[in-house]
Structures are given as structure tokens and as C-alpha cells.
Amino acid sequence: MKHPSTFKLILLILNLLMVSVLTACAPPAAEETPDEAAPEETEAMPEPTEEMVEEGGPITIMEWSGYEVTENPYLFPDFADTYTPTLESVTEYIFFAEDPEAFARIQSGVQVDLVHPCESYMGLYVEAGLMQPLDTSRIEYWDDLHPKLKEVGQVDGVQYFMPWDWGYESILVRTDLVEEVPDSWADLWDPQYAGNVMLWDSGQANYGMTALALGYEDPWEVLSPEVVEEVKQKLIELKPNVLTYWTDYTQTWDMPASGEAVLTANAWQDAYGYLVGEGYDVAYIDPAEGRMSWVCGYGILKDAQNIDLVYEFLNAAAAPSSAAGLGNWYWYGHANTAAVDLIDDYIVEFMSLDNIDVIFEETVFYQPITEEERGWLIDMWNDVKAAP
Amino acid sequence: MEHRSRIATLVSPPALFLIVLFLLPIGFMALFSFRVGTFGETRNMFTLDHYRDFFANAPLLRLLWRSLLISFWVSIYSVVLAYPIAYYLVFQGGDRKLLLLTIIIVPAWVSYLLRVLAWKVILGSTGILASFIAWIGLDPRESAFLLYSSDAVTVTLVYVWIPFVALPIFAALERIDPHLLEAAADLGCTKFEAFLRVTLPLSLPGVVAGFLFVFIPTVGEYVTPALVGGTEGVMFGNLIQDQFLRGLNWPVGSLMSLAMLAIVLVPLVVFARFFKISDIAGV
């Protein structure tokens, strides 16, 4: 080195620059801090409505991205119609991509009024003491919601969650790429399908379908360490048939389309609808052991503010107009199964909405589970993935 | 004394950065590994159960070993492939040296995810490699390199990391005094012997640094295995991610992360004993 002191000086400056650049380039702070909870009017907004001024501010909803009424008013027409053009000032959204993310954030102190979890997580919220029971008398269309779906929203017999969206889980098959179309969950284990099966990367889903394949009528009734162990061994046996795991539902659209995933397990019916529309030879089978069904719904947090606005939203969510919006646009089921006339015929047909009572008798619904039970399923699935 | 104070100034802001943003979080993680649960009351209860269960879980430990093996081979392949590149750059590059170096580094600026997804196109069952194998008459499904295997993970990781390995090797080779090679020639060495007995030993610190450059990050890989690994290519990092994000089991996740950290420290300590930073940086 010819000029050590200059070199070291340059190195020092570079170090300081790097440190300041790295700290300045930190991602913007997450919006969701506990302070967000207090209603605040930070941007120029249209004149607040009388209701809002009376009852103290917008409602904050912890929601899946894609369901927000501000971007998708057709999902909650009654609410959107009442509050347009001030929709942005009556609702505040915090988005999540997966259930555990929502639960972790609420547990860490993010304040919301409404949360939209799915059945397996509903029990966790109640167990953690976060929820208040629903006053179902305040929901006009409560009786039109299907009883089987309402049951899923009950924890220890108390109605905490109002079901809103539901869907089937079954096996999506590329009929042109198989010799024999399976007709039960147990068929996934057939050696002829080696390397053709795509499974959901979810302990709950795989426990449910494997328990059915093993012959248990209701996986959630029998949930215990012994059965979980049995399921684990059975899933390890399935591994030679499995090509890969899907983590994002769009993979259930792409992979069957490309032909890589000939059998997609625990696929939802929206994938079927999409692939049929694109002209692929697919079948969404009716397994002998029964289709499974997921159910998601809204629950009110214990410390929710502006309860009246919350119930207004829930009423709009339970209304037939919401059923039409969700059914016709998303290929998902809506809890208000009485509103079947408003839904397009081809959707009614492939979701069997006109025969729903019979279908639901044979469908296996996910149920709320406790933190401990969820731990068993997570550990089981990790052990299955770790097995060689 | 002047020398020392210069060093002190050099080190101070980064040291603070390191302590607050690296050592402190690791301390929190270590604390978490003893907690019973993530939220609520269980967070304030402490236990050694997680440690006991971890060391008793044979399949998990085997997965850790398999992940280390994958990282190890990725590092070896990266070094073996990057060395000739660096060698050519230093000894044959001439005026174009900097340009060629830039060409090697630029792909590293493309989004990591895009580079991994590109391999899905190449390795997929309808991809380039499969089509080629079918064209020469073999059965593509028998090929281990195809998508959703641990070989796919290895190939993709090697591709991603070669630019990063080329750099330290380049730096080490660059430092070699060309007069040494002249002297070797004068003493009767062939070019190959000169390489073996002069160049290679002198570049060894760079080679080992490059090896560690790849080994340490790839041990914790989870994105690449999730995208191209399928069931066979699952790595330890995938389970850590699962425990943190889906399992919400931060104590176990922390414990698994610490286990990995401890294992990765071993080669680092060994390296630090045998080589000095000055050997690589040339300070």
C-alpha cells in the first residue's frame, strides 16, 4: 500500500456512508401501530355523515386483501350505497395474507374492530380472550345464513363469528393426463400417481383429508395425539407421490394448467371454475369420504368502538346483495344460502347451491381448534416435511 | 497511538450498528428460545423443554444435516466454478478487467426471485432441459436435476451465488505479485507447477472467504427450496419460517435459528484462527 493514511481515510468515509445509507434505506415503518386505532382524520375527506359523527369514527377491519369495500363495493352493496361517497372515511383496512399473520398482529396490540379469520383460527381468538359474542338479533338476515355454516362460527356454543365466505376443498384432476380419475381421498396414495400430486402446505388441510382417507368420519371430533401420529405416518407414506407443495392459491390455478400438477389436493372450487373457463380438461371430484369445506367469517373484537357501524357492516355482509356479489365475482360461496336466485346458473350448478342442504350433510367442515391442537398439527406437518 | 485511534474511528459507527441491530436481536432470540409460548402469559414462563425436544427430534436433526450438506456442496461447486472466472479476469483480463468484473456482478442486481423463477423455466417438466433430454432420447422424469428436487435447489443456488464467490477470489488473486510468478519461471517451474505452488496457496484465503460467503447464507435458505425444491429439497430454513410465520411458535423458531447459528460459527472460528482478515483485504 503506497499511502496507508489516505487509504484508511477513504475506508472510514466509505464506512460512514454505508452506515448512513443502510439506515436511511430502512423500509417505511408499518402503518399498523397501536396509535392507529384512534379514529384520525389525516387527509382531506368529504363531509362526514351524521351517523359517523354521532357514533365516533370509522371502523377498522383486519381483512384479506381483495375484500375491501372501498375497492370492491359490489361485495357489500348495502353498506357501499349508504356511505358513498364517504366510504373511505367510514372504513379503515389493515390487510393480511395469512391467518396466523392476522392473529399475531392482533395479539401484538394492533387495534381493530372487526377481524375476518377462517375456522381453524376462530378458536384461537376466543381462547385469547380477544372477542365479544355476536348479538345475532341485530343482524337482519341471520336466519337466512345456513345453520351448518353458523355452527362453524360457534366456539363453546357461543356465536362469536358470522360466517361470510365458504368454499369446498377437494381434488382437482387433469382428466386428460390420468388413466384413472380418482374418486376418493384415499386414491391419492395410489402408486400410479407417483410424482403427480400437489399438496397444500398446511398441517390442518393435510390432517383433515388424511384422517378422512384413513376412514374417520369427522377428523375434528377425533383430533388427538394418537390420531395425529397415525396421520403423520400415512402422510410420510404419501411422499413418493407428492411433486411439491403449494403455498399460494394461485399455484392451484397455474400448476394444473401447465400440467405439472395432475392431481391437486385441497384445491378450492375457484381453481376449477377458472380452468374450465380456460378450456382445460379438469374434474373437481366428489370424494367418497366427502368434500371438505372451509368457512371464514367476521368477528367483533372485545374493545371495538362504534358498534352500531360494525353491525351495519355485518348486516350488509349478510344481505342477499352481498351473496350475489361474492358468488358471481369470486366463485366463492356466501353464507346466505337462501339468496340462490341472485347467483348465476353455472355457479349454482358447480357449487350445488340449489341442493345445499343435502350437500352440506355430506361435507366435512373445518372446525375451530385450540392453540394446543393447532400446535400438534403444525409439528406433525413439519415432521412430515423433515422426513427423508 | 495514532494508528490505534485511526482504527478506533474506523470501527466505531459500524460497531454500534452491529451491536444494536445484530447482537442485541440475537440476544433477544436466545432469550425467546427459553420461553414457553409466544403471546400472553406463556411468554413470561421459561422452560428447557424446547431444547430437550429439539435434540430428541431425530428427523429434524437429520434435516439440519441434509441442509448443511446442500450448502456445503453449493459452496464447493460455486468456488470451483468461480475460480477459473476470477483467474481469467486477473491474469488475462488486461484492460477489460473492470468491465468483465462488472458483467459478472450485474446479474446479481436483478431481483433474487426472478433469478430463481428463471430456473423454473429451465428445469420445469416442459422446460428447456426436459425438452433437451427428451430430444436426445432419455426419459426426462428420470433426471435428478429436474424441478422439485434437491439437485434443482443446488443448481439454482450455485447460479445465484457464483458472482459473490468470484469477488473475494478475484481480490486475492489480484494481490499476487507478478514478480513471484516470474521468479517461479526463472527457477524452472512450468506454468502449471507455478499455479499449483505459488498462485493457489497465495489465493487460498480468498478461496476460503468465498466458500464461507456462500456457505453461511445458504444454510438458512428457504425461498429457493420453497420454489424449486418440492418435497425432496426442503431445507431447515423452511421449517424455521414455518415455526415463526405459521406456527407462531417463536420459542422453537428461535431455538432452531440459534442451532443453525452455532453450527455456522464453527467454520468461521476455524477460518479466523488460520487466516487473518488482512490476508484477504490486503490491508
pLDDT at residue A19, as a whole number: 66
**What's the mean pLDDT in A248-261?**
89
Contact at CB, A12 and B40, closer than 8 angstroms: no
Q: Is the pLDDT confidence value at A213 over 70?
A: yes
Any A CB within 8 A of B231 CB: yes
Report how far residue B233's alpha carbon sits from residue A385's, in angstroms, rounded to the nearest whole number: 10
Q: Roughly what angle, to the nearest 10 degrees, separates helices B150-174 and B112-123? A: 130
Helices (H), B150-282: 150-174, 178-186, 191-194, 200-219, 223-224, 236-241, 250-274, 277-281
In a mutational test of the A interface, the residue from B66, B228, B246, B283 whose CB has the highest number of chain A CBs within 10 Å is: B246
Q: What is the pLDDT, as a whole number, of residue B96?
A: 87
Q: Smallest Cα–Cα separation from B66: which of B227, B263, B210, B241?
A: B263
Q: List Cα–Cα distances, A329 to A104, A266, A267, in angstroms.
A: 30, 21, 18
Give B38's contacts in chain A (Cβ within 8 Å): 104, 107
| CA atoms of B157 and B149, how far apart (whole Å) | 13
Q: Does A383 sit within 8 Å of B226, measured CB to CB? A: no
Mutate which of B231, B234, B240, B242 to test chain A, going by most A C-beta atoms within 10 A?
B231
What one-character-per-residue DSSP string does A137-157 give?
A: GG-TTGGGB-HHHHHHTEETT
Structure ipTM = 0.84
Q: Which of A1, A98, A195 sits opposite B246 (nearest CB)?
A: A98
pLDDT for res A45: 43
Contact A242 B230 (CB under 8 A): yes
Q: Which of residues 2-21 of A touch B (CB under 8 A)?
A: 5, 7-8, 11-12, 15-16, 18-19
Question: Would you say A61 and A37 are in contact if contact means Cβ atoms under 8 Å apart?
Answer: no
Measured in angstroms, the CA of B86 and the nearest CA of chain A are apart by: 22
Query: What is the C-alpha separation between A381 and B251, in angstroms, rounded?
Result: 18
Inter-residue long-range contacts of B24-32, CB under 8 Å, 24+ positions, other chains counted:
B26/B258, B26/B261, B29/B254, B29/B257, B29/B258, B30/B254, B30/B258, B32/B250, B32/B251, B32/B254
- How is residue A83 written as a grid cell? 356511505
pLDDT at B157: 94
Tell me the pLDDT tens digit for each residue of A315-340: 999 999 999 999 888 888 999 988 88
The answer to whether A8 contacts B10, with C-beta atoms less than 8 Å apart, is yes
Give the pLDDT of residue B142.
67
Radius of gyration of chain A from its Cα atoms, rounded to whole angstroms = 24
CB-based contact A378 B239, cutoff 8 Å: no
Q: How far apart are CA A130 and CA A116, in angstroms?
A: 13
Q: Rounded to an integer, what distance in angstroms lies between the CA atom of residue A31 and that of residue A62?
A: 13
- The pLDDT assigned to B253 comes to 94
Q: Would you state the pLDDT for residue B71?
A: 95
User: Quick check: A387 contacting B, CB < 8 Å?
Assistant: yes
Q: Do B63 and A386 touch (CB under 8 A)?
A: yes
Residue that the C-alpha cell 364517504 belongs to: A86
Those of residues 328-347 in A touching chain B at CB distance below 8 A are: none
pTM of the model: 0.82
Please work out, in degrees rounded to the nearest 5, the angle formed at the alpha carbon of residue A168 by the alpha carbons of A162 and A174.
160
- Tell whether A128 lies on the interface with B, counting CB pairs under 8 A: yes
Is A244 an 8 Å CB contact of chain B? yes
Residue A367 Rama label (left phi>0; alpha psi -120 to 50; beta): beta
b/e burial code for range A245-257 (CB count within 10 A of at least 16 → b): bbeeeebbbebbb
Q: Nearest CB to A243: which of B10, B230, B245?
A: B230
Size of interface A-B (CB pairs under 8 A): 90
Whether residue A242 lies within 8 A of chain B, CB to CB, comes out as: yes
CB B189 within 8 A of CB B105: no
Contact A259 B125 (CB under 8 A): yes
What residues of chain A lie within 8 A of the CB of B147, using their CB?
260
Instruction: Tell me the chain B residues in contact with residue A18 when contact means C-beta distances shorter than 8 Å.
Output: 14
Q: Minimal Cα–Cα distance from A203 to chain B, Å?
A: 10
The 10s digit of each residue's pLDDT in A142-166 is 999 999 999 999 999 999 999 999 9
Which residue would you say has higher pLDDT here, B161 or A22? B161
Q: Which residues of B touch A379 (CB under 8 A)?
A: 247
Cα separation, B233 vs B236, in Å, equals: 10
How far, in Å, CA of B243 to CA of B144, rounded?
29
Domains identified in chain B and CATH numbers: 58-281 (1.10.3720.10)
pLDDT at A44 over 50: no
Contact A319, A144 (CB under 8 A): no
* The pLDDT of residue A46 is above 50: no
SS3 A345: helix
Question: What's the pLDDT tens digit per position in A167-195?
Answer: 999 999 999 999 999 999 999 999 999 88
Least confident of A19-28, A214-223, A367-376, B160-169: A19-28
Contact across the interface for B248 and A100, Cβ inside 8 Å: yes
**Domains A47-166+294-357 and A168-293+370-386 agree in fold:** yes
E-strand stretches of chain A: 59-64, 91-96, 114-115, 131-132, 154-155, 158-159, 161-174, 197-200, 242-246, 263-267, 282-284, 292-301, 333-334, 364-365
pLDDT band per the 50, 70, 90 thresholds, residue A27: very low
Distance from CA of B92 to the nearest CA of A (A): 23
What pLDDT score was predicted for residue A30?
Answer: 39
* Among the four given CATH numbers 3.90.1150.10, 3.10.180.10, 3.40.190.10, 3.40.50.300, the one describing domain A47-166+294-357: 3.40.190.10
pLDDT score at B131: 83
Predicted confidence (pLDDT) at residue A265 exceeds the cutoff of 70: yes
All 3 cell numbers of residue A354? 340449489
pLDDT grade for A203, boundaries at 50, 70 and 90: very high
Q: Please provide the average confidence, as pLDDT, over all residues in chain A.
A: 86
Q: Hey, what's the cell of A298?
A: 367476521
Which residues 262-321 on chain A approach chain B with CB closer than 8 angstroms? none
Q: Distance, in angstroms, between A311 CA and closest chain B CA?
A: 29
Give the closest-approach CA distance of A67 to chain B in angstroms.
22
The pLDDT of residue A185 is: 95
B81 at A interface, C-beta within 8 A: no
| Other C-beta atoms lying within 10 Å of the C-beta of residue A162 | 23
Whether B5 has its CB under 8 Å from any CB of chain A: the answer is no
Cβ within 8 Å, pair B60-A383 = yes
Per-residue confidence (pLDDT) for residue A4, from 0 to 100? 57
Instruction: Round the CA-based radius of gyration of chain B to a whole number and report it.
Output: 23
Min Cα separation A214/chain B (Å): 22
Q: Which residues contact A85 (CB under 8 A, 6 or more apart)?
A: A46
- What pLDDT does residue A41 have? 41
- Alpha carbons A93 and A69: distance in angstroms, whole number: 9
Mean pLDDT, contiguous 10-residue spans, chain B (283 residues): 69 84 92 90 88 92 94 96 92 86 87 89 82 81 76 92 90 89 88 88 89 91 91 93 91 94 86 68 49
Nearest CA in chain A to B236: A386
Instruction: Work out the pLDDT band at A3, boundaries 50, 70, 90.
Output: low
Please state the separation of Cα A6 from the chain's center in Å.
Answer: 59
The Cα–Cα gap between A190 and A382 comes to: 23
Asked if residues A214 and A230 have their Cβ atoms less than 8 Å apart, the reply is: yes
CA triplet B104, B107, B108: central angle to 5 degrees? 95
Measured between CA atoms, the residue of chain A closest to residue B235 is A386
Mean pLDDT of A55-75: 88
CA distances to A223, B11, B176, B192, B208 from B200, in Å: 61, 31, 10, 10, 12
Written as nine digits, the cell of A226 is 394418537
Hey, are the CB atoms on B249 and A385 less than 8 Å from each other? no
Domain A168-293+370-386 has CATH 3.40.190.10: yes
CA A364/CA A345 separation, integer angstroms:
25
* pLDDT-derived band at A32, boundaries 50, 70, 90: very low
Domain map of chain A by residue range? 47-166+294-357, 168-293+370-386
CA A154 to chain centre: 17
